[in-house]
Amino acid sequence: GSECVVCLGEFEEDDELRILPKCLHAFHLSCIDVWLRSHSNCPLCRAPVM
């Protein structure tokens, strides 16, 4: 399965995910929102978010 690289937790069926528009990588909603408060790129591939 897939995992969130921010928390390293597996994605569960009922998790809320956020998919970044440029690179299409997925993260838990709460994990990526915390990350994006201090970064403007994807934690996996470093692609710019916008």
Per-residue pLDDT tens digits for 8-32: 999 999 999 999 999 999 999 999 9
Q: What domains can be seen in the chain, in order of their start residue?
A: 1-50 (3.30.40.10)
Higher pLDDT, 50 or 4: 4
Mean pLDDT of the chain: 96
CA distance 14 to 50: 27
User: pTM here?
Assistant: 0.88
Concatenating the DSSP letter of every residue in 1-50 gives --B-TTT-PBPPTT--EEE-TTT--EEEHHHHHHHHHH-SB-TTT--B--
pLDDT at position 1: 64
**35 with 27: CB under 8 angstroms?**
yes
**18 with 26: CB under 8 angstroms?**
yes
